[in-house]
Every structure is written in structure tokens, then in C-alpha cells.
Structure 1
Amino acid sequence: MFCKTWVMSALCAVALSAPTLTYNPGAVERPVEMQILSEYFQMLGDKVQAGRSMSEAPVCNMNNAVLPVASPTPLPPPSAGLSLKHVAIGRGTQNYSCATGNQTAAPVALGALATLYNATCIASTYPDLLSILPNVALQFNLTSPDQASLSPSNLAISGHHFFSNTTTPDFNLNTTAMDLGFAPCSKNNTVAAPTGAPKGQGGVGNGAVAWLKLVTRDGATGGLEEIYRVNTAGGNQPATCAGMPTTFEVQYAAEYVFPPFHLKLLQ
């Protein structure tokens, strides 16, 4: 597949990359998973074909990025006067505890651990493609917590997400490739993932974790002020601890949007 050089910054890194990971075991027997991947590569093919006939290059202009809006209840909009800093796909696990031994109790959230992958140019040029990337990324198992690129899109690492305690999600965007800041956060608002959000790998799971608006705490650097978690895929825990181990992980992926920013809202 050939792409003109001026299409490359946002698309060919995605379109030309062969998957660096195998599909999950038994993927061929799971038609939902195969359909997700088929739709993704079909969308890529359509965009590459359209790119060949463009008279002008698509521009990686962050002012064109779109913040998804959950329906029917949206998250609060970004604060006035902010500008986009970064967009990433997060791929990792939501972590839970059933340490009480009460089989009827709900699992307790322990936080999350994820690697962040740079999707900023895709956000500004192909928001429709970006919206399905979390679900696509979820279909590929991670080989390590610091996997060099995100399959099958080949996006490069731009940071890490973890919890310093059970109430403080942290985002470290200081890497060898980028120096965008560090953000300890607190939850500002949450809404349930939209109906039809991906439940888990292969379409099997307990649902997608909520969409969030986070605000930074003291100690944030790089001008980071607000962070959105949207387009979530998987990550929800089972309703009770019945049959669950003392601690366990649930695979998830999500789109993270890092203000300061002022984005067009996708209605």
C-alpha cells in the first residue's frame, strides 16, 4: 500500500503498520472481534484511497479535534480559554479487589494501569477513526505494560497512567520522545458510557467503564488542567465477588484528551 508523503503524518503510520501482536486466542471463533477488526481496516483503506485524490495535504491542526459527547447526559464542557495539548489512546487494565471474602459484595476499585499512545494527529484529521481505536486496541493482548507501540495502529508511547493511591489518578506525559507534563488528578464529573459501548474483548465482558472529566491537583506541570476519558471499551468489574480472586484485572482501552484546550464538541 502506498501513501503520498503529505498524508503520512496522520494516516500512513496507522494504515501501513502490520499488526505487531497476534489476535487474542480463538479470535477466529469470535465473529464480533473479527468484525471489529474488519471494519477498522476497511475504514483505513477507504481513507487511504481518498487521500490519493486530495488536492491538498490534510493538516495536523489541533483546533480541528473533536471532543465526543456522551448521550443522553454529556460531561461538562472544557473550561473557557483552554487549547488542546495532547490526545492519547490508553491501553491497560482496570484493577479490583475482593479481599473481604464476601462473595455477594461488589468488587472494590483499586485504580488503573495503562500505557498512553500518541493519537493527537489522528484526533485532528480523522476523529471517526480515532473513535473506534479503543475498541480495536482492546482486541489485541498486551505483551508488556510498556509495549513500544499500540497494535494494530502502531502509535508510539506518549506516557503512562497509574494511581498513586486509590483516589489519585496520575498521568505522566514526560517521555524520551515528548515532555508534556505530569498530572495528579481528581474526579470532577462522571457519566455512564453510552449504550452500545464495547463490553470487552471479543464483545464479551461486563461493560465499558464510565466517561470522566478530571481536574488536576497541586503539583501538575506542563500547563495540564483538565483531562477527559471518553470512548471507553471494557474495564467494568462483575456485579459481585462470586468466584473472583482476591485481586484481579479487567482489560480496557479509552481515549484520553488532555487540555488545556478548547475543542469543537461532537453532538
Structure 2
Amino acid sequence: MKFSLLLLSALGASVWAAPAFPKVEAVVPENIRAISDYMNMLASKVQESRGLASPPVCDLSKVSLPEAAAGLPPPSPGLVLKHIAIGRGTQNYTCDVSNATAVPQAVGAVATLYNASCIVATNPDLAGTLAKAAMHFNPSENAVTQQLVPSNLGASGVHYFKDATTAFFNLDAFPTWKIGEIPCGKNASIPAPVGAPKGLNNEPAVAWLKLLAKSGATGGLEEVYRVETIGGSPPASCRGMPAQFEVQYATEYWFYAK
């Protein structure tokens, strides 16, 4: 299943008519519910935009982290929000297969980042619903077009780990965006809020984080937040697990710069 939709006002596009997708009221598979919620919300935003005199301006200076991130240290004084991306990929783990009671160990993550700055600035609720819907599409579909399905958000970077403690974000990876690169380490962590969306196999959402730049950051990038996480957590023990495995996740990454 594949959708190609323009996110109208959030991306500065012209307004176009969109159908109202059927509401999902009964007990249905989560993938259908997530996609239906996104389509219904998108249709609602299109309808609302028809009454606007001009497309909304995506001014990041007026955007604040979600209220649930209050448990994390705030952005440092003097920094400004430079970019918001939806990350879609995997959290990676290893297991001691000789010990069924061992706890899986995190060994990093791999994700593609998609530019969501204007969506969050103008329609933050739509961004969260989009991330939930995107969980139910194979990431390989995104790789072909370098766009996030079920939207047309363009790829703005990649995320992986350089070593066990260095998360790396390359926002220069695609020609459309040259925002900078930031190797960073964890500064603070809080559990995902109660009720945070679970993953494809009912995995709990991974923690929300604040990361600080290490040596080598470019583009003035200083701090990164991981918020609005979906899925990504490992099972409680290594029982029945292979030596290495991946868990699908989605999230929002917020980048702050000088």
C-alpha cells in the first residue's frame, strides 16, 4: 500500500480538495486505524485551509517542545530551533543467546530523517499522526523516492551511531538540505509518556532524550531532542531472541543551533 499526498499548507503548497476518509470506530487492526486517523486529519486540515487568505508561515521561532518534554533540560540559552525531522528506522540490539534471562543491550539505531519543520510549526497534531501512520509502511518504500510515505515529506538526513555512545546525525546527506552534521551523546532521558504509541509488534515506545554535540559538529548544531517516540523498545529478556535484532521505530528529532 502506498500513498502520495501533498501536505498543502504545511509545505507551502497550493490548496487542493481532499476527500474525507471514512472514520474508524470499530475494533480494527492498528495499521488501518493509524492510516485512517492520518487521512481524516489531513482532510480536516485541507478543509480548514480553504478559509485562509494565504498559506501559513512555518516560523520555527514560535514552536516549543511538547509539554511532555518538560522533564528534560530545556534548550540552552542562545540556541534556536533550526530543524525538525521525523525519523523512521530501527533501534538495534544484541542478546546473549546463552542466557535466556539476559537483558537485550542497545547498540544504536539507524534511521532516515524527513523534513517536518513546517508541519510541526503549522500542524503539530498532524505530524504526530503522520509518524504513527508511517510506522505501518515498509521503510524501503521511502528509500526509493526519498520521501516519507504516506506523505511526500522529503528526506533531510540520516541517523546512525559512530560508536556505542556517539549518535550521529548527517543533515547534509541529501542535496536539497545542507543543515550540518552533529555527533552527540546523551545528556538526559525520560520515559515516553503513558499511552505513547506502541510499535508494530506492540513494543513500548523508547525514551525521550536530550543529546549534546560532541567535537566535530557543523552548521552551528548544538543540541538534539528525541520526542514523540513510537515503538522501538526490545523485549524484557533475550529468551527466544537472536544474537542481533532490530525493532522498528518512528520519532521526531528537534535540532537546535547557535
TM-score (norm 2): 0.87
Matches within 5 A, 1:88-237: 88-99=85-96, 101-143=98-140, 146-147=143-144, 148-174=146-172, 175-201=174-200, 204-237=201-234
Letter in 2 for 1:220: A
Question: 1:13–1:155: 8 Å Cα contact kept in structure 2?
Answer: no
SS of residue paired to 1:101: coil
Aligned to 1:19: none
Residues of 1 paired with 2:54 and 2:141: CA distance? 39
Measured against aligned partners, the alpha-carbon deviations of 1:26-56 in whole angstroms (never above 9, x if no partner) come to: xxx9522211111111110011011111123
CA change 1:14–1:219 in 2 (3 A) is farther
CA change 1:67–1:211 in 2 (3 A) is same
Question: 1:13–1:153: 8 Å Cα contact kept in structure 2?
Answer: no
State the shift of 1:205 in Å: 2.1
Question: 2:203–2:231: 8 Å Cα contact kept in structure 1?
Answer: yes
Q: Which has the higher contact order (CA 8 A, sep 6+)?
A: 1
TM-score (norm 1): 0.84
Letter in 2 for 1:197: A
Residues of 1 paired with 2:224 and 2:132: CA distance? 20
**Quick one: which of 40, 56, 64 aligns to 2:38?**
40
Gaps of 5+ in 1: 17-28, 262-267
Aligned to 1:62: 60
Letter in 2 for 1:140: F
**Quick one: which of 240, 246, 251 aligns to 2:243?**
246
Residues of 2 paired with 1:14 and 1:168: CA distance? 43
Aligned to 1:9: 11
SS of residue paired to 2:132: helix
Residues of 2 paired with 1:47 and 1:10: CA distance? 13
What CA RMSD, in Å, does the superposition of the two structures yield over aligned residues? 2.5
Aligned to 2:252: 255
Question: 1:92–1:253: 8 Å Cα contact kept in structure 2?
Answer: yes
- Percent identity reads 50
State the shift of 1:209 in Å: 0.4
CA change 1:12–1:164 in 2 (3 A) is farther
Residues of 1 paired with 2:46 and 2:126: CA distance? 12
Question: 2:10–2:119: 8 Å Cα contact kept in structure 1?
Answer: no
